[in-house]
Each structure stands twice: as C-alpha cells, then as structure tokens.
C-alpha cells in the first residue's frame, strides 16, 4: 500500500505497523496524529487537515487507516508549539504537555514566554515551574511588566524575602491569576486588620499561602476573632492561634462556638488559660467520635474522668496521638513499669516522648547501670525523660566510660532506627 504525502509516495509494507513505526517512517516535518476521528474533527478547520490513524478494536489485527487525505501542515500550529515548549524547556512528558495545552486558549499567539524567563531569573527552578504551570497553565501567557512583576513587588514590599516569595508562589500559584488592585491589595489590607501588623501577616502567609486567595471570605475570620474576644481569649493568644492554625478561623462561626463550649465546659480549660489555644487546636483537629475512642483507651487502663481531664488541662496533645501510640505507651508505663494513672496524669509530658528514640533507650541505660550496681543520680522517671540528650549523656553515660566503655555505643544502637 502507498500513502501519498506532499507529492511523495511512502510504502506501508509492515504487516502489523504501529503508530510509532509509522511516524518513524516519515520525514520529521510531518505530524502524525494517533487519535479518533471524533477527537480530531474540531481541530480540522484550524490546524490539521490530514489523515487520522486509529487502532483496530481487535489488537491482533493490523493498524487500520481510516482516512488519508493530505499532508499535515508543515508549519506547526500554536498548540504544537506550546506542547513542544513544555516538553523541551520544562521537562513535561508528551501526555502532560497535551493535557496542559488543552486547558489554555490555543488561539493565543504562543512564543517563548517572557513569564518563564522572568520566573527563572527570580529564582524558581524547573521543578517549581512545572508545578506552577500544571496548576495555572495561563501563567505561560501572563505579561511580566503588567501582571507578574507588580504582584511580586507588592509582596516584597509587604516584607517577604525572595526565598519566601518563591515558596509562597509555588504553593499558591493562583496568586498570579488574581487582580492586583481589586484582589491582592484589598486582601493584604484585610489581613493587616486581622493579624495586627505586617510582620504577623508575613508569618501567616508563609505558613498558609492560601490566605492570599481567600478573598471576600476574610469576613468569616473577622467574625470568629470577635467570638473569641467576647469569650475572654486575650488578644495576644488569638494572634498566636491565628498564626498557628489560620485555617480553623475560616470555619463557620457556629463551629467555632461549639469548639469554645467544648474546650471550656467539657474539658474545663478556661478561655484565659495559656493551655486554651492548645486545647482548641487539639479538639479542632479531630472528630468527636475519634476523640471518644481515644478517651476510651485511657479508661480501659483504669483512668478516671478526672484523671483524663487533669491530663488534658496540662498537656492536651496527649489525645492527639494515634490510638496505636496511646495503647503502646500505656502498656509500657503502666503494665511494664507499674506507674499509676494519677502519676501519668500529673506528668503527661512523658506520654508525648517517642518510645523508640527516647523512653526505651534511656530506660535501658539506667537498667545497665543498676545491674552493674554502679552509683548514679537518683532522678525521677519524668525528670530523666525531660532531660536534653546532652544532659542525659553527661549524667548517665560519660561518668561511666571507663567502667562501661561500650555504654554509649549500646545507647546509639538502641536509638538507631
């Protein structure tokens, strides 16, 4: 069989030819398209008027030529140029490039985009650029002087460093799609009212870049701040909560009211307590049924309601641990070491330490010293666990380097993952 293209005849002699083999048999200026007629039809009036190839439903049969009219235009259209740029310059696969190009207006004139050149000069690397273009393909068509540069300058004037800017834009590329005058600047003004200073706004944006595209919903945050103020939460703690967990203030105000009630009334943490913000974060971070299951584990080890509440008021994050972690920790401290709920409730910080990296290795060192009947500091378990690594080694390892020379090595082996 012969296919006539551009005045030349190309023989098809392979019995079961593949699209890639067919493409390889043509000059590089020809575009071979392997899609269905229905997919191709909308493109025919614009860039392609040639032939379409489609696989036979029976994969064992040869490739069927469904239509063969004329040569694809040797002049690449906008879509082809865009896909070629995405593959050659940014490292996208052909499939990824096709997906991205389908999301932009292909009628736009495409050339080597100034936006990408500017972003590279600013310090964005290829990995970041790929991520950004995948999220916001129209970034390729944004002008530098009128669109991108003024927005970057606005954020730098606010107080972001160049490294901060790169991180924020990479994580929330939609910023470049927002208007400078009708969105970005009004949003920054709103954040100033919420956080109280440019420094705090910068800290919040670095933690949660989505705040810059949250837009008109900032009024919800302001409503929730007022709820906390009216409940007696000091302003400085509200700011800390905003900086630590800004997403929690984007909730429905009714949800915030429910959280306030649970922290103060169900768990007995007053709104003016230093622990309030931590209790608020813990309860906000998990569903009630999950919390109830964790509390059930403590009760299964003999803890009373008062002991659980005492623990929560001192260290709310104990109930943010996983169920498996709580079970293992209580097994060690209560069943193996024989500690009572009252002791653990009054020293809840030791429940937070890693069993593998801190608790077990330190207990093993003390056990070795005691087995060898060596004099050592008599410190309570909680004090031993609270020591820094340097202090622990100073107290329980270095003084015995002559009598137990391999003690430090044993400690490293125990701690090693």
pLDDT band per the 50, 70, 90 thresholds, residue 326: very high
Six token digits for residue 116: 């990408």
Q: Would you say residue 33 has pLDDT above 60?
A: no
Per-residue pLDDT, 296: 96
Least confident span in 12-16, 142-146, 170-174: 12-16
Per-residue pLDDT, 109: 62
Least confident span in 74-78, 80-84, 335-339, 388-392: 74-78
Better-scored residue on pLDDT, 113 or 279:
279
Instruction: Decide if 171 contacts 128 (C-beta within 8 A).
Output: no
Instruction: Decide if 51 contacts 65 (C-beta within 8 A).
Output: yes
Q: Would you say residue 267 has pLDDT above 90?
A: yes
Helix 162-171 vs helix 198-207: crossing angle, to nearest 10: 50
Per-residue pLDDT, 412: 59
The pTM of this model reads: 0.62
Per-residue pLDDT, 50: 40
Which candidate, 353, 351, 336, places its Cα nearest to that of 389? 353
d(CA 369, CA 248): 49
pLDDT band per the 50, 70, 90 thresholds, residue 27: very low
Q: Would you say residue 124 has pLDDT above 90?
A: yes
Residue pLDDT, tens place only, 157-195: 999 999 999 999 999 999 998 999 999 999 999 889 888
Per-residue pLDDT, 315: 95
Torsion of CA 311, 317, 322, 328, to 10 degrees: -50
Better-scored residue on pLDDT, 293 or 32:
293
Instruction: Decide if 304 contacts 263 (C-beta within 8 A).
Output: no
Residues in CB range of 235: below 8 A, 6 or more apart: 229
For residue 9, give the H/E element and its range: strand 8-11
Residue pLDDT, tens place only, 359-376: 998 998 999 899 989 999
d(CA 256, CA 329): 32
Least confident span in 99-103, 175-179, 395-399, 404-408: 404-408
Report DSSP letters for 172-195, one per residue: -GGGGGS-IIIIIHHHHHHHHHHH
Mean pLDDT of the chain: 80
391 SS3 class = helix
Which candidate, 81, 26, 78, 87, places its Cα nearest to that of 51? 26
Query: CA angle 218-220-221, nearest 5°?
Result: 65
pLDDT band per the 50, 70, 90 thresholds, residue 110: low
Average pLDDT over residues 352-363: 92
Per-residue pLDDT, 89: 83
Q: Give start and end residues of each alpha helix (H) in 108-161.
A: 114-122, 126-135, 149-158
Average pLDDT over residues 285-293: 92
Residues in CB range of 33: below 8 A, 6 or more apart: 40, 48, 50, 51, 52, 53, 72
């Amino acid at each position: 069989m012969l296919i006539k293209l551009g005045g030349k005849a190309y023989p098809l002699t392979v019995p079961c030819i593949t699209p890639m083999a067919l493409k390889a048999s043509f000059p590089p200026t020809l575009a071979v398209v392997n899609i269905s007629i229905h997919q191709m039809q909308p493109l025919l009036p614009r860039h392609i008027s040639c032939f379409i190839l489609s696989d036979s439903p029976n994969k064992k049969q040869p490739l069927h030529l469904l239509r063969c009219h004329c040569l694809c235009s040797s002049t690449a259209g906008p879509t082809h140029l865009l896909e070629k740029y995405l593959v050659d310059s940014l490292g996208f696969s052909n499939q990824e490039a096709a997906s991205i190009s389908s999301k932009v207006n292909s009628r736009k004139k495409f050339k080597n985009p100034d936006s990408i050149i500017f972003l590279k000069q600013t310090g964005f690397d290829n990995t970041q650029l790929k991520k950004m273009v995948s999220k916001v393909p129209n970034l390729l068509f944004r002008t530098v002087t009128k669109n991108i540069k003024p927005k970057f300058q606005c954020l730098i004037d606010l107080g972001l460093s160049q490294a901060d800017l790169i991180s924020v834009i990479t994580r929330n590329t939609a910023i470049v799609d927002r208007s400078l005058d009708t969105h970005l600047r009004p949003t920054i003004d709103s954040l100033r009212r919420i956080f109280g200073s440019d420094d705090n706004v910068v800290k919040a944006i670095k933690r949660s870049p989505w705040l810059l595209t949250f837009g008109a919903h900032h009024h919800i945050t302001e409503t929730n701040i007022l709820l906390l103020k009216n409940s007696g939460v000091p302003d400085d703690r509200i700011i800390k909560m905003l900086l630590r967990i800004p997403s929690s203030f984007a909730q429905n105000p009714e949800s915030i009211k429910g959280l306030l009630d649970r922290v103060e009334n169900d768990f007995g943490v007053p709104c003016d307590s230093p622990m309030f913000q931590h209790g608020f974060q813990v309860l906000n971070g998990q569903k009630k049924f999950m919390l109830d299951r964790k509390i059930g584990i403590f009760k299964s080890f003999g803890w009373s309601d008062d002991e659980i509440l005492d623990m929560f008021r001192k260290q709310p994050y104990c109930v943010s641990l996983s169920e498996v972690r709580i079970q293992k920790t209580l097994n060690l401290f209560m069943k193996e070491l024989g500690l009572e709920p009252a002791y653990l409730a009054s020293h809840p910080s030791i429940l937070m330490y890693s069993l593998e990296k801190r608790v077990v290795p330190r207990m093993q060192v003390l056990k070795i010293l005691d087995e060898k009947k060596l004099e050592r500091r008599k410190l309570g378990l909680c004090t031993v666990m609270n020591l820094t690594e340097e202090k622990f080694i100073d107290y329980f390892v270095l003084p015995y380097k002559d009598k137990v020379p391999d003690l430090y090595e044993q400690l490293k082996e125990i701690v090693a993952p």
